[in-house]
A and B are shown apart, each in its own frame.
Chain A
Amino acid sequence: MLKGRHLIDPSDFTREEFREIFDLAHDIIKDPEKYSKSCEGKILATLFYEPSTRTRFSFEAAMLRLGGKVIGFSEPNSSSTAKGESIADTLRTIECYADIAAMRHPKEGAPRMASRYIQMPLINAGDGGHQHPTQTLTDILTIERLRGNVENKTYGFCGDLKFGRTVHSLVKFLSNYEGVKFIFISPEELRVPEYIREEIVKKKGIPFQEVDKMEPYMGELDFLYMTRVQRERFFNEEDYIRLKDRFILDMEKMSYARPDTYVLHPLPRVNEISPEVDSDPRAQYFNQAKNGMYVRMALICKLLGIY
């Protein structure tokens, strides 16, 4: 039963509960019109303490396409946060007006902490360099639509694996499935955090490699998940500049990949995927963005207890 629950981290739901969300999302894609009045009379609050394009718009578009309404802010200076209000107090206030909320915050753990103070379902829309579970829903829906299921596949993750919250959530999610293998491609300084490597991947006995070159591994991959180096998480600009262009996917590197290797990216992209790759049918990152809206429609319905 997902009604009334929070989604802060992929470990909050079971495989079966995620299955319910994906099944509904696949059905929404088939016939979106059927769901156009599902959330009539309901209000979604979008609390974005950090900039966002895709996530905020896709949450808002999702609620509007379900017939619901949206309130919220897109930067903290336009809320009482500017007056020094605590996160908990802001959430307790918003709970008086909305039925469900999506929250993005630059500090890691902010949604988990906030969820302790409210009954209204809260969705983590990204917390610092930590987790981004609804991007994972988007990624998984895309993977299922391309290859049927997530099991028995090799996933390459490339770029900023230290601060890349979408990587952390996706690895955490995939770690519950049989036959998955991971290849983490990054500079030494941007490797996956200890809690992901030691507490999740190693503990679950998942085969993985940590490498610093793309080409030799391209042929092994079913999916290549590219990420942007997260400039906003660095305390030192020099480190960012030194690391930002270490991995750039271009057609030369794509020539090492199999015809059925798909490229995903949570977007926004900076330099890490050359625009020439966009027209390759294996590049699926813009389809991911579209799937994001449908899967968020499914998530909102489930957390509100509709369907």
Chain B
Amino acid sequence: MLNITSIEKGVVIDHIKAGYGITVFNYLNLDKAEYNVALIMNAYSQKMGKKDIIKINNVIDINYDFLGLIDPNATVNIIENGKTVKKVKLEVPETVTNIIRCKNPRCVSSIENYFDHVFHLVNKEKRSYRCEFCDDIVVPYSQDL
């Protein structure tokens, strides 16, 4: 059994679908962090079997839309004085801005890049999104959904 100590002040992102922890870790640029960060992969979970966890020993801005897009079942716990003071329930976002890019090679976003890349939710279960410009439908982070 691997032991990771609890943190005093910061954020714990728990119940991340196993395999997606590294995606969250990279998106939050935690590889460049100058504070303690733990990425725990394939931790045992009674409910999920396996899960990923990220513990961040610092107060940082979290993009909840991004986390909701990756895994709306993950939980975010805000920690102060070693105790959870707030739990954030994630939701599949209705609109995501500058998180995903359109893959349609005919989309205007493939040649010009100075504007926001906006996608609107099409199907909550499938987590599919429509590009605001070309209407192409994408399912981001779709592996084993």
**Residues of A bordering B, CB below 8 Å:** 86-88, 105-110, 112-113, 116, 127-130, 193-195, 198-199, 233, 235
21 interchain pairs, CB-CB under 8 A: A88-B112, A105-B108, A107-B106, A107-B110, A108-B107, A108-B133, A108-B135, A109-B133, A110-B133, A112-B108, A112-B132, A113-B109, A113-B115, A127-B108, A128-B106, A128-B134, A129-B106, A198-B137, A199-B137, A233-B106, A235-B105
Interface residues of B in 91-145 (CB under 8 A from A): 104-112, 114-115, 122, 130-137
Range, interface on chain B: 20 to 34
B109's nearest neighbour on chain A, judged by CB, is A109
Is the beta-carbon distance between B111 and A195 smaller than 8 angstroms? no
**Residues of B bordering A, CB below 8 Å:** 104-112, 114-115, 122, 130-137
B133's nearest neighbour on chain A, judged by CB, is A109
Closest Cβ of chain B to A9, distance in Å, is: 9
Is the beta-carbon distance between B108 and A195 smaller than 8 angstroms? no
From known contacts A87-B108, A128-B106, A199-B122, infer whether A109 and B132 are also in contact, taking CB-CB under 8 Å. Answer: yes
B104 contacts which chain A residues (CB < 8 A)? 108
Question: Which of B106, B112, B114, B122 is in CB contact (< 8 Å) with A108?
Answer: B106
Among A108, A113, A198, which residue has the most Cβ atoms of chain B within 10 A?
A108
B122 contacts which chain A residues (CB < 8 A)? 195, 198-199
Closest Cβ of chain B to A49, distance in Å, is: 11
Is the beta-carbon distance between B114 and A86 smaller than 8 angstroms? yes
Main secondary structure of the interface of B (DSSP, over half): loop
Question: Which of B105, B106, B108, B137 is in CB contact (< 8 Å) with A113?
Answer: B108
A168's nearest neighbour on chain B, judged by CB, is B135
* Complex-state Cα separation, A100 to B137, whole angstroms: 31
Query: How many residue pairs at the A-B interface have CB separations less than 8 Å?
Result: 63
Main secondary structure of the interface of A (DSSP, over half): mixed
Is the beta-carbon distance between B135 and A113 smaller than 8 angstroms? no
B112 contacts which chain A residues (CB < 8 A)? 86-88, 113
A233 contacts which chain B residues (CB < 8 A)? 106
A198 contacts which chain B residues (CB < 8 A)? 122, 137
Is the beta-carbon distance between B130 and A130 smaller than 8 angstroms? no
Closest Cβ of chain A to B102, distance in Å, is: 8
Is the beta-carbon distance between A108 and B108 smaller than 8 angstroms? yes
Is the beta-carbon distance between A109 and B137 smaller than 8 angstroms? no
Question: Which of B105, B107, B132, B137 is in CB contact (< 8 Å) with A194?
Answer: B137
A116 contacts which chain B residues (CB < 8 A)? 115
Is the beta-carbon distance between B108 and A110 smaller than 8 angstroms? yes
Is the beta-carbon distance between B135 and A107 smaller than 8 angstroms? no
* Complex-state Cα separation, A105 to B133, whole angstroms: 13
Among A86, A195, A198, A235, which residue has the most Cβ atoms of chain B within 10 A?
A195
* Complex-state Cα separation, A193 to B131, whole angstroms: 13
17 additional A-B pairs beyond A108-B134, A108-B136, A198-B122, beta carbons within 8 Å, are A88-B114, A105-B108, A107-B107, A107-B110, A107-B111, A108-B108, A109-B107, A109-B109, A109-B133, A113-B108, A113-B112, A130-B135, A193-B135, A194-B137, A199-B122, A199-B130, A235-B105
* Complex-state Cα separation, A109 to B106, whole angstroms: 9
* Complex-state Cα separation, A78 to B122, whole angstroms: 40
Closest Cβ of chain A to B42, distance in Å, is: 35
From known contacts A128-B106, A199-B122, A233-B106, infer whether A109 and B114 are also in contact, taking CB-CB under 8 Å. Answer: no
B134's nearest neighbour on chain A, judged by CB, is A108
Is the beta-carbon distance between B131 and A109 smaller than 8 angstroms? yes
B108 contacts which chain A residues (CB < 8 A)? 87, 105, 107-110, 112-113, 127
Is the beta-carbon distance between A130 and B115 smaller than 8 angstroms? no
